[in-house]
Amino acid sequence: MKLEYFDDAFDGNGLLLLHSGSPGEVSRLRATLQKLLVAGASVSLHDLDFVEAVESCEVTAFSAANGRGVRPLAEESLAFEWSLSPANWERAADLLEPFCHALPTGGAGAHFQYLHEFGGTEVIYSTAKEW
């Protein structure tokens, strides 16, 4: 699975794209996000052994009652914090469930799902490097 940032997506708000994972890798990502159902928990997505960070993209995900979404850690950096409430982490983990199984082949395009739609930088999981 790859983790990539696109700064020119969504009218310049940016996009964190997790893509091209096998069903097993998506299951592992889902299990990782479920660990964030406890306030104060955190995980570095870029350090997961099944994630390849493209261009050294770094995302630290953490759970906070007042989750603020995605924000860069420094200007001109590819390091981000992604904070959501435990309930929103549960929702994001649940949205990954269909990708934990083999998806139908055939047809054009990728299958994708928004994992974060609260304004600012978007987060999407996609079966390919497209959305």
What band does 118 get if pLDDT is binned at 50, 70 and 90?
confident
Question: Using one digit for the tens of pLDDT, what is the confidence trace for 81-117?
Answer: 999 999 999 999 999 999 999 876 655 678 999 998 7
Question: Using one digit for the tens of pLDDT, what is the confidence trace for 8-51?
Answer: 887 778 999 999 999 999 999 999 999 999 999 999 999 999 99
What are the chain's domains? 2-126 (3.30.1360)
CA dihedral 2, 61, 96, 100 (to 10 degrees): 60
CB-count exposure of residue 45 (10 Å: 0-12, 13-18, 19+): buried
Q: What are phi and psi for residue 60, nearest 5 degrees? A: -105, 115
DSSP string, 78-125: SEEEEEE-HHHHHHHHHHHGGGGSPPPP-SSS--EEEEE-SSSSEEEE
| Cα gap 131→117, rounded to integer Å | 14
| Cα gap 42→34, rounded to integer Å | 11
Residue-level pLDDT at 119: 77
DSSP classification of residue 45: G
